Structure 1
Amino acid sequence: MWGLLAKIQKNLTTAIPILMILGVITGAMVDASVLKNLIVPLTLLMVYPMMVNLKFQELYKINGFKLQLSALGINFVLIPMIAVVLNWLFLKDMPYAALGLLLASLVPTSGMTISWTGFAKGNLSAAIKMTVIGLIVGSLLTPIYANVILGQSISIPMGKVFKSIVFVVFVPMLLGFITKKWLVSRHGLEYYQKNLAKKFPPISTLGVLGIVFVAMALNAKSILADPTSLIQYLIPLILLYLINFAISTLLGKLFFDRGDAIALVYGTVMRNLSIALAIAMTAFGEEGAQIAIIIALAYIIQVQAAAWYVKYTDNVFGVYKPH
Structure 2
Amino acid sequence: MKEISWINDNTTILILIDIAIAFVLGIFYPDIFSYLGEYAIIAAFIMIYPIMINTDLRSVKESLHSKKFISLSLIFHFVISPLLLFLILTLMVNDLSISAGLLFIAIMPASGMAVVWTTLKEGTTQLAVVVLAVSTILAIMIVPFGAYFIVGNYVEIPIEIFIKSILILLILPVTLGYLTRNTIIKFKGKEKFSEAKPYIKTISIFGLLTIVFIAFGKEGQTLLSKPLLVVETVIPMILFYALGFALMTWVGIKAGFSKQDIIALNYSSLTKNRSMALAIAIVALNPLSVTAIALVGVLAQLPMIIVYGKFVDKILSKHFL
TM-score (norm 1): 0.90
Question: Counterpart of 1:7?
Answer: 6
Q: Which amino acid aligns with 1:211?
A: I
8 Å Cα contact 2:110/2:272 also seen in 1 = yes
User: Counterpart of 2:80?
Assistant: 78
The residue correspondences of 1:145-156 to structure 2 (distance < 5 A) are: 145-156=146-157
Q: 2:69 aligns with which of 67, 70, 74?
A: 67
Q: Which residue pairs with 2:215 in the alignment?
A: 215
2:100–2:155 CA contact under 8 A, matched in 1: no
Gaps of 5+ in 2: none
Map residues 157-306 of structure 1 onto 2, 5 A cutoff.
157-193=158-194, 195-255=195-255, 256-284=257-285, 287=286, 289-300=287-298, 301-306=300-305
Aligned to 1:36: 37
Paired with 2:158 and 2:4, the residues of 1 have a C-alpha distance of: 36
Contact 2:8 2:198 in 1 (8 A): no
1:40-94 Cα shifts (integer Å, max 9, x gaps): 22101210111101112211221000111101111111110111112212323x2
Give 1:23 shift.
1.1
Contact (CA 8 Å) 1:212, 1:292: kept in 2 or not? no
Mapped to 2, the partners of 1:22 and 1:153 lie a distance apart of 31
Shift of 1:173: 1.3
Aligned mates of 2:5, 2:104 — CA distance in 1: 27
Unpaired stretches in structure 1, ≥5 consecutive residues: none
Q: Which is further off, 291-300 or 103-112?
A: 291-300
1:88 aligns with 2:97: no
Matched position secondary structure for 1:282:
helix
Q: Which residue of 1 aligns with 2:15?
A: 16
CA distance in 2, matches of 1:216, 1:64: 40
Q: Superposition RMSD on alpha carbons, in Å?
A: 2.0
How many residues align? The count is: 314
Q: Distance in 2 between matches of 1:293 and 1:151?
A: 17
Between 235-244 and 146-155, the greater mean CA deviation after superposition: 146-155
Equivalence for 1:51: 52
Cα displacement string for residues 112-133 of structure 1 (whole angstroms, at most 9, x for unaligned residues) = 1111111111122211110011
Structure 2 counterpart of 1:120? 121
- Give the corresponding residue for 1:310: 309
| CA deviation vs aligned residue, 1:13-43 (integer Å, no higher than 9, x gap) | 3332322221121111111211112202210
Aligned residues of 1:107 and 1:139 also touching (Cα < 8 A): no
User: 1:264, CA displacement in angstroms?
Assistant: 0.8
- Superposed CA deviations along residues 243-286 of structure 1, whole A, max 9, x for unmatched, are 111111111222111222111101111000111011101223xx
The structural deviation recorded for 1:5 is: 4.3
Q: Structure 2 counterpart of 1:130, which letter?
A: V
200 and 241 in structure 1: CA distance in 2 versus 1, 3 angstrom threshold: same
Partner amino acid, structure 1, of 2:306: A
Moved over 4 A (4+): none
AA aligned opposite 2:289: I
Q: Give the whole-Å Cα distance in 1 for the aligned partners of 2:114 and 2:245.
A: 13
What is the match of residue 144 of structure 2? 143
Output the CA distance in 2 between the equivalents of 1:197 and 1:19: 24
Contact 2:57–2:134 under 8 Å retained in 1? no
TM-score scaled by length of structure 2: 0.91
User: What percentage of residue pairs aligned between the two structures are identical?
Assistant: 28
Contact preservation (8 Å) 1:45, 1:203: yes
The answer to whether the Cα contact below 8 Å between 2:238 and 2:304 also exists between their aligned partners in 1 is: no
Are the counterparts in 2 of residues 108 and 269 from structure 1 also a CA contact under 8 Å? no
Please report how far the alpha carbon of residue 218 of structure 1 lies from its aligned counterpart in structure 2 after TM superposition: 1.0
Change (3 A) 1:108 1:54: same
Amino acid at match of 2:123: G
CA distance in 2, matches of 1:307, 1:153: 31
SS of equivalent to 2:155: coil
